[in-house]
Structure 1
Amino acid sequence: MSTLDKVAVLGAGVLGAQIAWHSAFKGKTVTVYDISEEALDRCRDAHAQYAAIYLAAVGASDHDVADTRARLTYTTNLESAVSGKDLVIEAVPEIPEVKTQVYREMANLLEQHTLIATNSSTLLPRDFAEATGRPDKYCALHFANLIWALNVAEVMAHPGTANSTLIAITEYAIEIGMLPIPVRKEQNGYVLNTWFVPLLNAAQSLVTNGIATPEDIDRSFLIANPGATRGPMGMLDVVGMKTAYDVLSHWGGVHGDRQMLANAAYLAENFLDRGLLGLQTGQGYYSYPDPAYSDPGFLAVPDISDAVEIATRIQLT
């Protein structure tokens, strides 16, 4: 059993909010930190949604939810957030400069025993190990979105990570109901995002370039993957447009990938600039809580009378 009972989650975005709620649900005492009260208010709203989900789909009782809420606190004060903690999980935006700044700001605020884990989805812990001030107590612990259902947690070291840190972080993952995925070598994208980001980027390219509609992209995916509950455009909504934009913008710049940069620009213009963040705000490629892909008729064969209208979409102009 780990001794990581007092936890701080830095970043109250989509996944940070999920990690905080789920860790508290599993008995951890959790402080959520973000730089603005507005971000924390969005996190509280998300936690209200998670309470309903856990009651309906996870088997939680009203007592469980009340206990979860009692174990959660929220703050915009970094020192207050990390003081006395056993574990700090960093889930700030996927922007290297932002992560580095956060690590440097908190380096002198931590107690000697405190471990740090990054929830970065594509960046390596070695990129930030020195900035933490405690590289031996630092590694990656990357969660999937919809943490209560997609319960994987990828653990990746950098060359200076102590084995005791890896054991404690893996124990923590197991304690909160995750299936640990050991990443045996350093890999941008870890295991999950090594295949997931190219999938979403390819799907977004089809939209950006006017090849197919989001709905038809998802139809092709759902038919090819029986039992899947959403396609890549629905997955983008779950990831959140801000995270998707950050990832595509960063790696598009690193690799000089014009298509990836065009995809980032498309997300900015059509979603971020309009305040549409995906599932988080109830509107992305689909409208929630009842997205079109959840309709039983989404994959139905159309009536033959629809052939003329469908054909007009095929003609080249």
Structure 2
Amino acid sequence: MSKSIEHVTVLGAGVLGGQICWHSAFKGKQVVVYDLFEKGLEQCRFAHQQYAEIYKRDLGATDEQIEQTRARLRYSTDLADAVANADLVIEAVPEIPEVKKQVYRDMAPLLPANCLLATNSSTLLPSDFAEDTGRPEKYCALHFANLIWSINLAEVMAHAKTAEDTLRAITRFAIEIGMIPVPVSKPQNGYVINSLLVPLLSAAQTLVTNGVATPETVDRTYMVMNRGASMGPFGVIDVVGMKTCYDITQYWGNLNQDEQALKNADYIKRNFLDQGKLGLQTGSGFYSYPNPAYADPAFLAEPGLDVVEEVVRLTRPQ
């Protein structure tokens, strides 16, 4: 049996990085969250205050459990300090290849000899960065889904040099923190989750960018078609975060010379990033939080005749 991972460092205090470190600490791991900027750590601390209330409400966490979670968490802007005692480092920095490569190169000489590495990317492959890590046999992908406390999936992907012991330890860690491991048998950008999700979000954004429908119309349509869904594509985009959606859309748009994808990226930049609206993280995106319109039961209710004029207005060519 592989050695249990007890000390975890998460690189990147963004939306998903913040969730990974909070949830890992909640499940009993000692966690350091690293970010290059103090502002990033401040936003992460604020998010953790929100998660404390969510965990009490949705998971029945006690005040004592929340305090124990906080006691297991530490925040740092010093990379050497952050990784000094790590059994596992999870990289969750922006989905920009050169940024990830530089982080791995900077970190390589700082890591303990037996420390494992995992990337939380799901649009980029571990093979893209394996040599930059300096320890390819100890490196693989471990990609989490947003809303980690309820959508408890963790995708595991190897590259050609990943050791089996690494995969055993990483899979064991995922299970120890309450995840359902998803083995990805063949390297593919998007893995399983985002191979399903990204085309949906892209199609939804294209409908809005091109003026075919409003975000509310798209989400309402999706949620009626998929009764029981807690949100539609634009609710998901708010959860994922505008910065991540922009980075992914811009990168693949440029790589594939996809004019529509670049238009979608520009829409997100102009309407959200430039306005400081990052989605759920800042309380404002396609919806306003903590009470987004799609969470109101009336969002999916059969309407009265009072909506006729609104439908007529939205049906006219924009």
TM-score by length of 1: 0.98
Check if 1:145 corresponds to 2:161: no
Name the CA distance, whole Å, in 1 between partners of 2:248 and 2:215: 20
1:133 maps to what in 2?
Answer: 134
Name the CA distance, whole Å, in 2 between partners of 1:191 and 1:266: 27
Check if 1:22 corresponds to 2:23: yes
Name the CA distance, whole Å, in 1 between partners of 2:176 and 2:236: 27
Q: Which one-letter code corresponds to 1:75 in the other structure?
A: S
1:243 maps to what in 2?
Answer: 244
* Structure 2: stretches of 5+ with no match in the other structure: none
Alignment of 1:289-300 (within 5 A): 289-300=290-301
Check if 1:226 corresponds to 2:206: no
Name the CA distance, whole Å, in 2 between partners of 1:246 and 1:306: 37
How far apart are residue 305 of structure 1 and its match?
4.0
Name the CA distance, whole Å, in 2 between partners of 1:121 and 1:278: 20
Check if 1:66 corresponds to 2:67: yes
Q: Does the aligned pair in 2 maintain the 1:252–1:260 contact within 8 Å? A: yes
Name the CA distance, whole Å, in 2 between partners of 1:220 and 1:64: 39
* Structure 1: stretches of 5+ with no match in the other structure: none
Check if 1:122 corresponds to 2:123: yes
Q: Which one-letter code corresponds to 1:104 in the other structure?
A: R
SS of residue in 1 equivalent to 2:222 = helix
Q: Does the aligned pair in 1 maintain the 2:10–2:34 contact within 8 Å? A: yes
Name the CA distance, whole Å, in 2 between partners of 1:201 and 1:2: 41
1:78 maps to what in 2?
Answer: 79
Q: Which moved more, 1:305-314 or 1:240-249?
A: 305-314
1:3 maps to what in 2?
Answer: 4
1:252 maps to what in 2?
Answer: 253
Stretches of 4+ aligned residues off by more than 4 angstroms: none
Check if 1:97 corresponds to 2:112: no
Name the CA distance, whole Å, in 1 between partners of 2:8 and 2:302: 50
CA RMSD of aligned residues (A): 1.0
Q: Does the aligned pair in 2 maintain the 1:115–1:138 contact within 8 Å? A: yes
Q: Does the aligned pair in 1 maintain the 2:6–2:29 contact within 8 Å? A: yes
- What whole-Å deviation, never above 9, does each CA across 1:15-43 have from its counterpart, x for those lacking one? 00000000000010000000111110000
Name the CA distance, whole Å, in 1 between partners of 2:253 and 2:194: 15
How far apart are residue 310 of structure 1 and its match?
1.4
Q: Which one-letter code corresponds to 1:111 in the other structure?
A: P
1:198 maps to what in 2?
Answer: 199
1:210 maps to what in 2?
Answer: 211
How far apart are residue 308 of structure 1 and its match?
3.5
2:166 maps to what in 1?
Answer: 165
Q: Does the aligned pair in 1 maintain the 2:175–2:181 contact within 8 Å? A: yes
TM-score by length of 2: 0.98
Q: Which one-letter code corresponds to 2:292 in the other structure?
A: P
How far apart are residue 309 of structure 1 and its match?
3.5
SS of residue in 1 equivalent to 2:32 = strand
1:185 maps to what in 2?
Answer: 186
Change (3 A) 1:86 1:312: same
Change (3 A) 1:316 1:174: same
How far apart are residue 2 of structure 1 and its match?
4.2
SS of residue in 1 equivalent to 2:300 = coil
SS of residue in 2 equivalent to 1:298 = helix
SS of residue in 2 equivalent to 1:181 = strand
SS of residue in 2 equivalent to 1:84 = coil
Name the CA distance, whole Å, in 2 between partners of 1:20 and 1:190: 22
Q: Which one-letter code corresponds to 1:251 in the other structure?
A: W
Q: Does the aligned pair in 2 maintain the 1:2–1:171 contact within 8 Å? A: no
Q: Which one-letter code corresponds to 1:205 in the other structure?
A: T
2:175 maps to what in 1?
Answer: 174
How far apart are residue 313 of structure 1 and its match?
2.1
Name the CA distance, whole Å, in 2 between partners of 1:316 and 1:136: 56
Q: Does the aligned pair in 2 maintain the 1:2–1:172 contact within 8 Å? A: no
Name the CA distance, whole Å, in 1 between partners of 2:73 and 2:289: 26
Q: Does the aligned pair in 1 maintain the 2:4–2:172 contact within 8 Å? A: no
